[in-house]
Structure 1
C-alpha cells in the first residue's frame, strides 16, 4: 500500500521536516529540531553517607530471647501537593511584536511578501486550508475541499456565515474573485500557470463552491492554499483604485487600522470573527496588535530585554542559545516551531556571467570554507549540503556538492580566469559581516576580487524577482513538501518577474519538478527529491550553507503565541520560518 505524504508527517514529526523566500538569516522543520524547552537540571550526586550494617552480636552458648521490636513512629501526614490552577485567557490589551523588516505593499498577488509581511497577513487573513502537526491538510476558512485522483481538479466549498472586515459575505463569488486576482498577479500567478483555460478554469459551481481545474497534475495546490496563495481578500480590496497602498480586507481575527511605514502597523480586533477557541469562546482575546519593524537584531534583543515589546522573531544564530536558556530561565517563553526548517545559501544568478558558467559556480564552492562560516556566523546550526534539511523528504548526507578545497579552487580559477564577483546582502550589520567573511575567504583562499552590494530589506525580493544580482545571500525552502519548490526551480517560472530567482534553466530539473507535483506518495516524493538534491550538487545552482533556526521569544505574562485550535481538535503545525499565529494570544492582567 502506498504511504502518503500525510503518513510521512505522522511518522517523522518527531525527527522533523523542514514558504516564501526571504533574506538570509536576519542579520546573519540535525535529525531533531532544536528544543525550545529548558533542560531539566542534572541530578546532583547524593551527599548522604550510605547506611552501614552493624556486625551481628557475638553468640553465646546460653539461649537468649530476642527483644520485642519497638513500634515504628507514626509518620506525619503529608500535605497534598498544590495543583496550579489552569490559567484562563484574559480579554483585552495590546500585544507588540518586533519584525525584521517593513513591508512595501499588501497587494499580495504582486507583492514582495517576505517573512515580516507574511507574519502580519497571518493575523489579518485566514488561509483556506491548514496543516496540522502531522502535515495533514484540513479545512480552515473552507467548509470542505475535494481533489480528483490525478490532482487536476480541486473543489473548494466556503463555510456559511463568514463575513469580511467590511461586512460583506465571504461566499463562493468572493472566493472565485480572490483566486482569479491571485492567478492574474505577477507573483502569485506563478502558482496558476497550469490552469486548463486560464482564469476561466476558476469556476463558480454554486453560491458557496468553486472548482479549479489544471491541465496537469498539481498535487501541491492544497499546500499552496495554507499560506499566501490561500489568503481570501474581499472584493472591496480588489476594487480599490490603488491596491499597492490599500489596507488588506479579509476575514481574519484582526483588521488593519494603521500603517505608518518604518514605524508601526496596527491591527484591531475583528468583533465579527467567526472562529472560537477550544472552549467555544469568541476569538480573538486581544484588543490590538502592533508590529514594529526593527531591522537590527541587536536592537530587537535589547527592546525585548527591556520589556518594551512582547514578541520577537529572531533567526540570528548567535542569539539562539540566549533565547533558549537565559531568556527562558528568567521566566519568559518561546513559541513552538515547526520541525520544518528553511536553509541559508548563496543563490547564484545562472542567467548571466559569471555564474552562467558551472565551472565558476563549482570553483567558488571549492573556495568556500563553510565550516568556518558556521563557526563564526551561524553557530548552533547544522551544515546544509542541499535544499532539504536533515529529517526531511529528499535529504541526502552527500549530494555531491563540492567541499572546501582551496588548492583545487585556485587551480580551477587559474584555468578559467578570475571574474570580478559581487555578493548582495541587506544592509543590516550582521549581514554585512557575513558578506565580509566570504569576501575575505575567497580572496585569501583563491585570489578572487569581491565587492559587496548592500541594500534595504524592502528591495530584497525585488532584486531576486528581477535577477538584479550576481549572487545573493538568501534563506528559503523548508516547505515539508518538495513539490512546492516547483515555483522556485522550474524553467517556466524563470521569465520576467520570476519566482525562479536563480533563473535555473535545466530540462532535467523541469522533469523532476513535474514528477513531484504528480504524486503525494511519500516514497515516490523522497526518491524524486533525492534526484533533485543530486542535480543541485552536480550543477551547483546554489551554494548551500546551513539550516535556518528561528526563535520566537515572548515575555512573561504573554500566552498563546503560535497556538491555533483546529476544528478537528488537532494541533496546528508550529511556526515555519518565523511566521507565527497570534489568533489566540493573550496577556495577563
Structure 2
C-alpha cells in the first residue's frame, strides 16, 4: 500500500504528547486510557450508541458550503471519508485515496483512489466524482456555492481526471502541505454525485462512503445514522467496519446537561472542553460511573477574537491594552479551574511555529490605562463595544470575566448571547466586535493561512498585515523544514506584538463514556488503512467506525 512516506512530510509537527491532564484530572488515564482498565476484550458487533454533542449543526452537511465546528465534524467523519488522514506520527497518509504523490517541486499531485469503494446510494467512487468534489469545494462546479473553501483551496490551478481512479491536481505555486488540505480538519469529505447535484436538499441528503449512513435527522433533537454494510474498511475480525448497528447524535448545548445525561444513561458518550464539566466527570470516574479520555495533543486554542477592522480595534494600542488587562494566571485558576495550559499564540505545542514565549503582552494595568487614555485623547471616547458568546454556562462565565477585566482599564463592554452557528455566521460576515472563539487545531501551519491572510473571508479577525501575508506565502512553498519553522515562528511573534487575538488556553478535549462503550481511546481506536497508529488529538473529533458496546 502506497503512502506519503517517500517524501516523509512531517505535516503535523513533532508529535509531542503533553498528557497534562493525566495527573491534573482524576479518573481517566489521560490520552488513550480508560478508567476501567486496558483489558476490555475483543470488539463485539451490534448495538446502538447515543453521542452527546455540544451543538447542533443547523446549516447541515452540504460539505462544500457547510460551516462545521467540532460537533458537525463528528457527524461528517461518521458519514463521509476524506482522501487523507493524520496518523500518530504527525503524517498525513492516504485514507480514501490509495496514494497521494507529488512531483519534484510540489506543483503537481497525483491522487490514486481505492478500487471497489461505493457510496451509500450504491454508486461507485470514481476519479470523476472526486474531481467534481474538489471543483465544488473550490467554487468551480455549477450548483455549489462554497464560502470558505474557495479560499482554502485557492492555490489549486487545475483538477483533471487522468485515469478511472486517478486525479491530477496542479497548483499555482509549490504546495508542500497539500495532503493536509485533503483532510482539512475532517471537513473535506467526499460526497456522492447525487448529493453534490441536489439543488434542494444537499444539506440533508447525506451521501458519503463512510461507516454510517443517514437514517433520519430531526434538527435540534437527534440525527440517527445506521451501519453501512458495504463499508470498504475491514476490521480485524475480517468483516467490514463499523461494529455498531446504529449511532445517534444528540445536541445538548450545556456541558453540565450533557454530563447529567451521561450519568443517567440518557446518552452513552459525550465530548466537552469545559473545565467545570471535567471536575464533575472526574468525580463520576472515581465512582466507576464513566470512563474519560483527555487530549491536549495538537490542540486548538481558546481565545477572544477581535474584529480588527472596526474602531477602536483597528488601533494596536487598544488591542494591547486589553491583553495587558488580563492576569493570565488568575484566568487559568478561575476559568479553567487550574486545569488547562495558557496559550502563547496560534500554533500549539508540537506544531511547527510553536513558541513558548511569542512576545504576547503580560498584565500591566497602569500601562493599559495609559494606552486607553492616549487613544481617547487622540481619537475621542471609545465607541460602544459588544462581546458575543454562546449560551453555554462556561462561555457566559468567561465573557463576564473579560467584561470585568476590561472595565478595570476603562473599556466598558456589553454582553450578547448567540447560538454557535449564528456566532460563526457573524464571524464570517464581520457583524461583531469581540467574540469568544475556539479554533486553529494543530496541524501543518499552512492550514491556518486561510484564517490569517488579508484576502480570505475566513480571516474573521480582518487582519490586514502585509508582513504576515508575505510570511504566509513563503511558508506555503518552503520545502526545508528548518526554514519553514523559522517562518511560522516569525508569524507567531507578529501575533504577539500586534495582539491580533487575546489568547486564553490551549483547549483540552475530553471524551467521556459509559464503561460499556469502547473504541474511542488510543488503545482501542482502529489503525489507519496503511497500518499506522491512530492520531492522538481530539480537537477535530475522532473516528467512530471502531466504537463498540458491551452489555456489562
| Match among 419, 428, 433 for residue 470 of structure 1 | 433
> SS of 2:323's equivalent?
helix
Question: Which runs of no fewer than 5 residues in structure 2 stay unpaired?
Answer: 1-5, 30-37, 140-145
- 1:368 equivalent to 2:326? Answer yes
Cross-structure match for 1:448: 411
Q: 1:132 to 1:9 in 2, by over 3 A?
A: same
- 2 CA distance for matches of 1:129 and 1:510? 27
Equivalent position to 2:495, from 536, 559, 577: 536
SS class of match (1:552) = strand
State the partner residue of 1:381: 340
Q: Which protein shows a greater Rg?
A: 1
Gaps of 5+ in 1: 17-30, 42-83
Residue-pair matches, total: 521
Task: Give the deviation of 1:520 after TM superposition.
Answer: 4.7
Alignment of structure 1 residues 166-315 onto 2, 5 Å:
166-184=121-139, 185-196=146-157, 201-226=158-183, 227-228=185-186, 230-315=188-273
1:324 is displaced (CA, Å) by 4.8
TM-fit CA distance, 1:516? 1.7
- For the residues of structure 1 that align with 2:214 and 2:518, how far apart are their CA atoms? 22
CA distance in 1: counterparts of 2:39 and 2:400, whole angstroms: 53
In structure 2, the residue matched to 1:461 is 424
Alpha-carbon deviation of 1:448?
2.0
Q: Is the 8 A contact 1:182 1:189 kept in 2?
A: yes
1:346 corresponds, among 286, 291, 304, to 304
Match of 1:73 in 2: none
Q: Does the C-alpha gap of structure 1 residues 40 and 339 become closer, same or farther in structure 2, counting only changes over 3 Å?
A: closer
Quote the residue 1:157 is aligned against: 112
Distance 2:292 2:453 in 1: 37
Question: Does the CA-based 8 Å contact 1:426-1:432 persist in structure 2?
Answer: yes
For 2:116, what is the secondary structure of its paired residue? Answer: coil
TM-score by length of 1: 0.84
Please state whether the residue corresponding to 1:468 is helix, strand or coil.
coil
- Equivalent residue, structure 2, for 1:71: none
Q: Per the alignment, do residues 558 and 482 of structure 1 end up closer, same or farther by CA in structure 2, a change over 3 Å counting?
A: same
**Residues 509-548 of structure 1: CA distance to partner in whole angstroms, max 9, x if unpaired?**
0111112211354322221111011100111111111111
Tell me the CA shift for residue 492 of structure 1.
Answer: 2.2
2: CA distance, partners of 1:459 / 1:85: 44
SS in 2 for 1:492: coil
Q: Residue 507 of structure 2 is aligned with which of 537, 548, 553?
A: 548
Where 2:117 maps in the other structure, the secondary structure is: coil
Residues 1:298 and 1:574: Cα distance change in structure 2 (over 3 Å): same
Contact 1:265 1:291 in 2 (8 A): yes
Distance 1:533 1:143, change over 3 A: same
Instruction: State the alpha-carbon separation in 2 of the partners of residues 432 and 39 from structure 1.
Output: 27
The answer to whether the Cα contact below 8 Å between 2:97 and 2:113 also exists between their aligned partners in 1 is yes
8 Å contact 1:130–1:137 — kept in the other structure?
yes
- Is the contact between residue 4 and residue 521 of structure 1 (CA under 8 Å) also seen in structure 2? no
Q: Distance in 2 between matches of 1:537 and 1:343?
A: 14
Equivalence for 2:532? 570
CA distance in 1, matches of 2:412, 2:8: 46
Please give the alpha-carbon distance, in whole angstroms, between the structure 1 residues aligned to 2:286 and 2:233: 31
Distance 1:554 1:522, change over 3 A: farther
How much has 1:337 moved relative to structure 2? 3.6
Pick the aligned partner of 1:486 from 427, 449, 452.
Answer: 449
- What is the TM-score of this pair, normalised by structure 2? 0.89
The answer to whether residue 367 in structure 2 is matched with residue 394 in structure 1 is no
Cα 1:233/1:7, change in 2 over 3 Å = closer
Shift of 1:338: 6.4
Match of 2:403 among 439, 445, 455: 439
Match of 1:35 in 2: 22
